[in-house]
Each structure stands twice: as structure tokens, then as C-alpha cells.
Amino acid sequence: MRESTSSGTGTGTGTDASIPVSQRAIKIIGNVFFSVFVFAVLILTVVAITYQPPDPWLQSSISLTKALSQTLPNSTFQNDDSLLKTGEDLTTLAPSSSPTNEQQQSSQSPPSSSSSACSDTAALNCSDPAVLSAIQRFNSKVFRKSLVFLAYDTPVPGAHPDHECDASWRFRNRRDKSWRRYRDYRRFRLARADNCTYTVVSAGKFRSGANAAPAARRLPRSAATAAAAVQPAAVPDAEINDTIPAVGSESDFRKGRYLYYTRGGDHCKGMNQFVWSFLCGLGEAAFLNRTFVMDLNLCLNGAHTSSGRDEEGKDFRYYFDFEHLKESASVVEEGEFLRDWHRWDRRSGGGRKARISVRKVPTYKVTPMQLRRDRSSIVWRQFDGPEPENYWYRVCEGRAAKYIQRPWQALWKSKRLMNIVTQIAGGMDWDYDAVHVVRGWKASNKDLWPNLDADTTPDALLAKVLKMVKPWRNLYIATNEPFYNYFDKLRSHYKVHLLDDYSEMWGNKSEWYNETMALNGGKPVEFDGYMRVAVDTEVLYRAKTQIETFNNLTRDCKDGINTC
């Protein structure tokens, strides 16, 4: 028994001892590496779940141009009631790295006043930080889904200083794609709360706080001072800089490189075609690293004029933001450029080498790629052929389309028009719905739009809008329907707003009237059809519910039968 027991014990001990030390070390190392591998996979899984990369489609200007190139024809443009989107409608906003004034204020507790100011019998001090804090909290709560507040001014006493204060601030609409700022000033009625704080009892409408409004400046109207009205210093809105940049000295002119387009067949065509062609010229100038020579005088197509005829002498600055264009692209005004060109060219004398070099390009078939190595001071494209050979945008067709990128981000709508948009939307406290009703010549063309007229009758509109918008909401109607009372049936169910309801915003006492008159040499400017379409469209974009004619109201296609 002893032998068998000792024999069994010795066999087990011998089995453990028979495994080499090297194999046991390899086994331990393998277990360690496997554990590290599992841990690394776990970390990568967590990172992959939490990481959200930016969307390259939303940040690609090339993608925007490709998308628009597919929808815009390359040979024929038709006038309709649609509006070509500009850069502010297409550019995707990058998130701001710094908190806004609203966010900074909301993260702080209301500042406490001194003990003497906490008395119930003390007069209301509008400059008290606690008053501004109460107004900020109120605005943040009421407009948190519509506006981004950027900066506040110190409140001032209102009509009744014992309980009213007027406050002004800068803001941006959350639906805006640009960082352009606007101003509002309102009257607030406040009450004293506990802990030396205030609460807002009621607030006035858009721009009701007259005491907090910036000092109004009026333009001179006499004949002796009419010329002074043209100067930029006379423009009432100090935030708009419409000055024309000067070329500079002779040495600056000679060092510069310019791309000059003479007037072509695009002149007096629809505004959408003008934009498409103008951005082609800007894109070629950027490709050639040259300054684009632009003409500020436009011709408005008869589709947007009250006379029904093409009208010359319209200023580019009526419709587009020239200040933003100057900051985004290298441009010079044509009149200024031609004056300096002829002046410096004459001073060069008779020497051929001393004269300003010019390369004349008689046809669009000379591609931008062929001009890239040209060292002439001026590349002069001439569009003298028959239509459509003389359209500017022909330069960007064919192989050039792969190289030329239209700078959509450089073209914004005029801030003067956008100020009217802000006043209309602000008058409805940014809480409204909108319906776009297209009628006009499309409704009368039964061959291309057989159902449009019947689908947009007052009864049909009421039945369809009631399904999409709650009764007694603010309802803005963007339309080309000329009869004001056409939408009376909607008025019995909604608070209807039309553009004509706000005609005082471009009347002869308005800020817009004075500013455009300054640009026009002291002569009044008509609020034309294109301006109406631009304002209507931008107010529509800011609505909480947007009802489109060809998406919601009718079975017809936007461009006619079989084009959906």
C-alpha cells in the first residue's frame, strides 16, 4: 500500500514538473497580449460610437455648384416667379466656438443690486444690471427657437420711467445661413421680485422701444445738397458700406491683374440668368487670380417692372450686398477702372513697352485654362457675337466647368431688403406660418399647368391650408396674385398678412426709401417686382410651416407637364 501510494503521488508531481519553463512563459505572455487586444477593441468601439465626423456634403462648395448645375439649364433661361438662391441661402453655418452673449448671460446668476435699491418704494433704475438680466431671461424664453441674441445695449427709461424700460439688442435669425446681424428695440414693463431681481410683466412689439432706437438721420432734400446725398457718409444705416473701392495709384494699377467682361447678351435678361453669368465671371477671375471688373448698372427685365418693359439704370446695390461681395471677392467698379486705365495709359507715352498690356479675347471658346499663363495686365473678354454665343456663362461650359467654381458664398441679398424682411417677420414676433401661392401667367396657361388655376382658388386654398395650419395663426401669403381681396376667405380663419400690408416700409418716409435715393443721385427708387419676390421669398423661408404651391397645393409640375 505504501508503495502504491507513493508511486501515485510521484507520478502527479512528475507531470507538472515535466512542462518546460519556456512554454509556461509563452502561455502567460499570450494571455497578456490577448487581454491587451480585447481592451484595445473595446476602446475603439467606444470611440467609433461617440465620434461624429462633419458631413462633407454640407461643407463642399463644389457639391453645391454641381447640384445647381443639374437644375439650371445651360442654354435657355425662362422667366418665372421663382428666385435663384444666393450664397446666404446655400452656405452651411459652422458652429461657433465662442458662446453668444445670450448663452453667457443665461449661465450667470442675476447680479444683485445694492440693499438701498431693493426697497419696494425705490424708483426703477433701467441701468441696473438686474433689469437687463430680466429682459435677457424673457427674450431667451420667448424667442429661444427663433433668434440668437448677440449683444445687448444698456436699457433706458420708457414712456413711464417708474415701471417701463426700453432695451435694444443685436440678433440673428436661426434660419439665416449668414452671420448678418439685425437690431431690435422693445418696450418692457417690469415688476420687482424677491432677492433684488425683476420680472418682465409684458413686452411690446417689434421695435416698439422708441427711446432705445438709434438716432435717426435724414438725408438732405434740397437741390443744393442733392449731390452730397450720393456720398456714402449720407447713408443712414451706418452698418452698410456701399463705397466703391478705388484702384489706387499708377503703380498699384500696373501691379494689378484684371479680368474685364464687356456687356453681352445677358444684359436685360432675367435676374436668375444674370446671377448665373455674373458668378461665372467671378469664378474665372478667381481661377486666373485676377480682379474682376464689374458694372454696377443693371437692366431689370420687363417681367419685374411695373411698365412691363426692360428698364436700364438699376443699381446692383438695390438687390445684392456689395459690401459682402467686396470682402469675399476681388472686384473693382467698371467706371472707376476705365477712368484709371485711360489716365495711366495716356501717361505711359509713346513707348510700346511702357503702355498697359491688354489681351483681347473675342470669343468664349478661348478657355480659362488657355489664359492662365497670360501675363497681360488686362484680359478683356468681348461678347460681340449673336445670342446665345454672347452669354457670359458660356465661358464656364464644357471643359471649363471642371475648373471654374462659382463663388456662391460671395453673393448675398441686399441688407436693405433683408431689413424689410426682418421687420415683417419681427412684426409677427417670428411666430407665423407661410403659404406660397403661384398664379399669374402660369395659372392662365392650361397647356403646361392644367390644374393650377383650379387648385389655387379661394375655396381650394382654404380647404388645403386648414389641414396643415392651425386656425388663427399668423399666416403670411407670398404670392404674385395682383388682387388683394383674393384671400379674404382665409381671413375668416387666420390672421392673414400680405406684402402690401407693409408698404410703409418702402414708402417715402422709410429708411429704405432714403438709402436707395442716396444711391440714385437723390431720385426716388421704385420698389420693383424683383424686390417684392426677394422679400416674399425670404419671409417664407423664416416661417415655421412652409406650404409650397407645387409641392402641397397642386398636382402640376413647377416647370410644366412631365417635368416633375
C-alpha cell at 115: 440693499
Q: 511-519 vs 415-427: helix axis angle to the nearest 10?
A: 170
Contact 319, 534 (CB under 8 A): yes
Spatial CB neighbours of 384, under 8 Å, sequence gap ≥ 6: 262, 362, 390
Do strands 433-437 and 474-479 pair parallel, antiparallel, or not at all (unpaired)? parallel
Least confident window among 79-88, 300-309, 468-477: 79-88
- Per the DSSP assignment, residues forming a β-bridge with 101 are none
Residue 185 has pLDDT above 60, yes or no: yes
Average pLDDT over residues 250-260: 87
Report which of 513, 510, 509 is spatially closest to residue 526, judged by C-alpha positions: 513
Report which of 148, 118, 123, 120 is spatially closest to residue 136, judged by C-alpha positions: 148
Residue 437 has pLDDT above 90, yes or no: yes
Q: How confident is the model at residue 234 (pLDDT cuts 50, 70, 90)?
A: very low
C-alpha cell at 410: 460671395
Q: How confident is the model at residue 204 (pLDDT cuts 50, 70, 90)?
A: very high
Q: What is the pLDDT of residue 17?
A: 56
Q: Could you give the C-alpha distances from 442 to 238, 439, 450, 454, 560, in angstroms and in order?
A: 42, 6, 9, 12, 9
pLDDT tens digits along 475-491: 999 999 999 999 999 99
Spatial CB neighbours of 562, under 8 Å, sequence gap ≥ 6: none
Helix residue ranges per DSSP H, 358-413: 368-371
User: Is 271 or 250 the better-scoring residue by pLDDT?
Assistant: 271
Report which of 542, 547, 557, 559 is spatially closest to residue 460, judged by C-alpha positions: 547
**DSSP classification of residue 116:** G
Work out the burial of residue 295: count CB atoms within 10 Å of its CB; fewer than 13 is exposed, 13-18 middle, 19 or more buried: middle
Residue 564 has pLDDT above 50, yes or no: yes
Three-state secondary structure call for residue 257:
coil
State the residue for C-alpha cell 386654398.
461
pLDDT tens digits along 345-365: 766 555 554 578 999 999 999
Q: What residue spans define the domains of the chain?
A: 101-212, 245-410, 415-553
Pairwise CA distance, residues 350 & 4, whole Å: 127
Helix residue ranges per DSSP H, 240-304: 250-255, 271-287
Q: What is the pLDDT of residue 396?
A: 96
Residue 295 has pLDDT above 70, yes or no: yes
Contact 249, 275 (CB under 8 A): no
Q: Which amino acid is at 267?
A: H
Pairwise CA distance, residues 206 & 185, whole Å: 7
Share of the chain above pLDDT 90, in %: 59
Cα 68 to the center of its chain, rounded Å: 17
Contact 381, 395 (CB under 8 A): yes
Contact 156, 126 (CB under 8 A): yes
Q: What is the pLDDT of residue 178?
A: 75
Pairwise CA distance, residues 141 & 144, whole Å: 6
The angle formed by the CA atoms of residues 453, 544 and 178, to the nearest 5 degrees, is 105
Cα 90 to the center of its chain, rounded Å: 7
Q: What is the pLDDT of residue 251?
A: 78
Contact 340, 302 (CB under 8 A): no
User: Is 251 or 12 the better-scoring residue by pLDDT?
Assistant: 251
Q: Could you give the C-alpha distances from 146 to 67, 169, 175, 176, 442, in angstroms and in order?
A: 28, 15, 8, 10, 34
User: Is 371 or 46 the better-scoring residue by pLDDT?
Assistant: 371
**Strand 378-381's sheet: what is its strand order?**
331-333, 291-294, 258-261, 378-381, 358-361
Q: What is the pLDDT of residue 248?
A: 72
C-alpha cell at 363: 470669343
DSSP letters of 270-331? -HHHHHHHHHHHHHHHHHTT-EEEE--EEEE-GGGSSSSS-EEEEEHHHHB-HHHHHHHS-E
pLDDT tens digits along 527-549: 999 999 999 999 999 999 999 99
Q: What is the pLDDT of residue 265?
A: 93
